[in-house]
Structure 1
Amino acid sequence: MLKRITFLVIAIVLIKPIYDFGSQWYDDVMQFLNNHEVKIEDASFEVLSSVSSAKETLVNTAANALTTVDVELPNSVQTTEELADSFYYYLSRWETNFEIHYVGSTADIENIIQKAIDDAASRDQYIFGHLAERTIEYEYSSLDAKIKVHQTYLTNPAQEDVVNEKVASILSTVDAESMSDFQKVKFVNDYIVKNTEYSTNTAASPHSAYAVIQENKGVCQGYALLALKMLQALGVETKYVVGEVYTGGHAWNLVKVDGEWYHLDTTWNDPTPDRKNIVRYEYFLVNDDKLKLDHTWIHSDYPEAKSSKFEFMAQIDHAYEQDGVIYYSNVDDNNLLYRMDLNTGETAPLTNSRAQYIVGAGEWIYFSNYSNGAYLTKIRTDGSDESTLYRGEVDNLFVEDGYLYFSTEEGLKKLEL
């Protein structure tokens, strides 16, 4: 007898709402401008490199987490658990066509296969998140079954080699052993947000971790799967969460920090339209009560997140971090430029100017001053010597190779620091 069973694992199309958390405003407030003679150069045609050189030695935890262990499969399996082991073996190697010989009673063969598949898929959420359509055919007698599987994925072995190499390279730039769980989660959140544009316009599946890390584009599923991969490699206990928001299906993560579970939505921490290096923290280490205001999920499928320890992070926008201090636009206080000590959580305004596109170099902070026409402004990290550098609307600030770069109506400009 020949039966055909078709299992469909539909790739979840998870669409992020098109909105921007950042405030955009102008006012006519006039200020006395300090006269500073600075040299502003056109930089529109320069080729800029933002690739940091990786250390020669990779982080051990990352290398261990990305290693596949070779095992030998038996010629046949006799129990549901052994069948699940075989399924997992092939799924973990992204095999598209494989056959398993099952020896035993086939009276309940359909349920046996389904239970084995569910078991195998649940062993690794990264693999589970990349599963697509599956077709199973089997021939069987009363005590024997030959199971043929065609499994498709949102990725492939070559793409996963790239993911593993890039993740290891990225994590080699940090000292994981000296980092707290909070610092690890923040590093991963910031890396993904700063380097990814929310988009379905990708060559690879936008739902895959590969698209996010290789093409710097993707959707929430890819964001969450890459976060899962990176955080697990750093030794942070992490889960992949599937739920819904008002636009439909959505995916994010649960992470364990200092023994407590928190939600992390890297997609919703990434402003849309994309704002280059700008990171939000409204959905960074939040509890169930906060997240359920605009997210839904099957609560019984995941651990509870009850702590509000890190709720202070939600006020941060356009953040720049230096030596354990974050300089940021405070969304809870009219977007004034603030500073926060990450070790204590203490906050204080640095100036009464409204700031966006905040960057820094040495003892200076640079920003677009929305209390003064979005002019390019600088201020010392202690809040002194605030002055205007460029009298014109600027945005998308970044520092590289001793220069401050910023966008104007005339194009990209640069200022030697």
Structure 2
Amino acid sequence: MRLTFLVIAIVLAKPIYDFGSEWLDGAKQFIGENEVTIQDATSEVLSTVNSAKDNLVSTAADTLVTMDVELPDSVQTQAELEDAFYYYLSKWETNFEIKYVGSTADIENLIQTAVDQAANRDHYILGHLADRTIEYEYSSFDAKIKVHQTYLTNPAQEEIVNEKVASILSTVSPEEMSDFQKVKFVNDYIVKSTAYSEETTASPHSAYAVLQEHKGVCQGYALLALKMLKALGVETKYVVGEVYTGGHAWNLVKVDGNWYHLDTTWNDPTPDRQNVVRYEYFLIDDSKMELDHTWIQAEYPKASNTNFDFMAQIDHAYEQDGLIYYSNVDDNNVLYRMDMATGETTRLTKSRAQFIVGSGDWLYFSNYSNGAYLSKIRTDGTEESILYQDEVNNLFVEDGYLYFSTDEGVKKMEL
């Protein structure tokens, strides 16, 4: 006589999020060098920004690893059951059924172990899992397992993520980049293109929202970083922990054989400062990270190296030809230059600089030693001068112009 039981197991994988607020939408900006002609550009910039956010560049690439194999009609071991779960999870399937043939003496533990191991194969998938319901009926030697799995994403959104990630990474040459350069590229891209916000159409906890809507929370930041870094060949882990406001997510990355913490969310200023990147939580060790983050350290590799602690002094960075021009937070936010190959630093001026951008041999910045006026200086620290006597912010160079924001709106100057 066949004995059948019905068991319902519900696993909740609720999204996590951390402190942050919705950021102010910034405008792009541009400026001139020889002839200082100021033009109003508010409408132009707003139109350009909105158009850029809606634009999707597609490429025929798929960076998600899935099991493109046919599953057998039934599975007979825990390993095969794990393979089956991973097969469906990697395809973002919401409803699926698996037939198991074998001893069911410990069926509940067998299923739970298999699904946990399958989810842990790929932390990008793991981070996007939401509610799960598993129903199973079984006899002594077989079981029918029915699964309803929800996600923070869907196949259509992931196709867009794969295309956009491939498009973004096509702008660099990974084989010519160091691990450090790859991590910096990903950190800078996410910070510059994203505003911390829960006000999204898609789940703000997904990589899709961060890429497509340019908004999201820590989970989305960390999952996108994981996706991009793995595509660049950097060993990366997705870390779940807590900060003083509650749940939080970030990454561990391996650079030159050593593990470091990377928190792209906390490197992103809030309220939003367009095109401004912080490095306070960029390639840091456990001791520094645990000052304001907690996590189950036994579940993750140890990060004890401090090789890149010097990056914490950098704010409002502009990078060109292996040199970083930045506001030095350790020296009253004065304008500095750092050679990334040697780590050598040079003080370029006594002026406090923010919103630093550049074009050719010139740097442009908001001079906080002089009314936050628009100023320029050569990259060697000579010929500093004021171009516009009004408080400016949010500088951005593009297509031969520098746009900058004032109380009267967005202005631009031809370079």
| The two structures share one fold, judged by TM-score above 0.5 | yes
Does the Cα contact within 8 Å between 2:131 and 2:151 map onto a contact in 1? yes
Establish whether residue 210 from structure 1 lines up as the match of residue 208 from structure 2.
yes
Aligned to 2:29: none
Equivalent of 1:261, from 252, 259, 262? 259
Paired position in structure 2 for 1:399: 397
Alpha-carbon displacement from aligned partner over 1:13-35 (angstroms, at most 9, x marks no partner):
31224599xxxxxxxxxxxxxxx
Higher relative CO (CA 8 A, sep ≥ 6), structure 1 or 2?
A: 2
Give yes or no for contact 1:102–1:145 (8 Å, CA) kept in 2.
yes
Deviation, 1:8, is 2.2
The answer to whether structure 1 residue 3 and structure 2 residue 6 are counterparts is yes
Which letter maps to 1:356? Q
**Residue correspondence of structure 1 range 17-28 to structure 2 within 5 A:** 17=20
Tell me the distance in 2 between the aligned counterparts of 1:45 and 1:64.
Answer: 37
TM-score by length of 1: 0.92
The one-character-per-residue Cα deviations of 1:227-286 (angstroms, maximum 9, x if unpaired) are: 000000000000000000000000000000000000000000000011111000000000
Q: Give the structure 1 partner of residue 89 of structure 2.
A: 91
**Corresponding residue of 1:162:** 160
Report 1:111-260 matches (<5 A): 111-260=109-258
The aligned runs of 1:319-334 (5 Å cut-off) are 319-334=317-332
Partner Cα separation in structure 1 for residue 52 and residue 362 of structure 2: 23
In 1, are the aligned partners of 2:62 and 2:162 still within 8 Å (CA)?
A: no
Superposed displacement of residue 2, structure 1: 3.1
SS in 2 for 1:329: strand
Distance 2:121 2:13 in 1: 19
On the 8 A contact 1:376/1:392 being kept in 2, the answer is yes
Letter in 2 for 1:6: A
Poorly superposed stretches of 4+, deviation over 4 Å: 17-20, 49-58
- Indicate conservation of the 8 Å contact 2:62/2:163, yes or no: no
Amino acid at match of 1:116: A
**Structure-2 residue corresponding to 1:12:** 15
After superposition, residues 338-377 of structure 1 pair within 5 angstroms as 338-377=336-375
Aligned to 2:307: 309
Deviations along 1:23-60, whole A, 9 cap, x unmatched? xxxxxxxxxxxxx86111111121336859999988xx
Does the 8 Å contact 1:269/1:284 carry over to 2? yes
Measure the CA separation in 2 of the matches of 1:54 and 1:200: 22
Describe the superposition over 1:285-310 as per-residue Cα deviations: whole angstroms up to 9, x where unpaired.
00001101000000110000011000
Two-structure CA RMSD over aligned residues (Å):
2.0
* Structure-2 separation of matches of 1:255 and 1:74: 37
3-state SS in 2 of match to 1:48: helix
- Paired amino acid for 1:8: V
Residue 48 of structure 2 corresponds to which residue in structure 1? 48
Contact 2:356 2:363 in 1 (8 A): yes
Q: Deviations for 1:296-354, whole angstroms, at most 9, x for unmatched residues?
A: 00011000001100000000000000001011100010000111111111111110000
Change (3 A) 1:65 1:39: same
Contact 1:54 1:170 in 2 (8 A): no
> Would you say the 8 A contact 2:20–2:196 is kept in 1?
no
Structure 1, residues 345-393: CA drift from partner, whole Å, max 9, x if none?
A: 1111110000101100000000000000000000000000000000000
> TM-score, normalised on structure 2?
0.93
What is the letter of the counterpart of residue 12 of structure 1? P
User: How high is the sequence identity, in percent, across the aligned residues?
Assistant: 74
Instruction: Output the CA distance in 2 between the equivalents of 1:17 and 1:55.
Output: 29
1:297 maps to a residue whose letter is W
1:318 corresponds in structure 2 to 316
Amino acid at match of 2:48: L
Structure 2 CA distance for partners of 1:19 and 1:151, relative to 1, 3 Å: closer
Q: Is the 8 A contact 1:16 1:268 kept in 2?
A: no
With over 3 angstroms needed to count, the CA separation of the structure-2 counterparts of 1:392 and 1:194, relative to structure 1, is same
Which amino acid in structure 2 is aligned with residue 370 of structure 1? Y
Distance 1:19 1:355, change over 3 A: farther
What's the CA shift for 1:69?
4.2
Residues 137-159 of structure 1 show CA distances to partners (whole Å, capped at 9, x for unaligned) of 11111111000000000000000
Residue-pair matches, total: 398
Structure 2: distance between partners of 1:217 and 1:17: 12
Cα offset, 1:134, TM superposition: 0.4
Q: 1:67 to 1:141 in 2, by over 3 A?
A: closer
Return the alpha-carbon distance in structure 1 between the equivalents of residues 14 and 274 of structure 2.
28
Structure 2 counterpart of 1:71, which letter? V
1:378 maps to which of 376, 379, 382: 376
Q: Give 1:77's aligned amino acid.
A: V
Report the CA distance shift for 1:338/1:284 in structure 2 as closer, same or farther (over 3 A): same
Structure 1 CA distance for aligned equivalents of residues 59 and 204 of structure 2: 31
Residue 283 of structure 1: aligned partner: 281
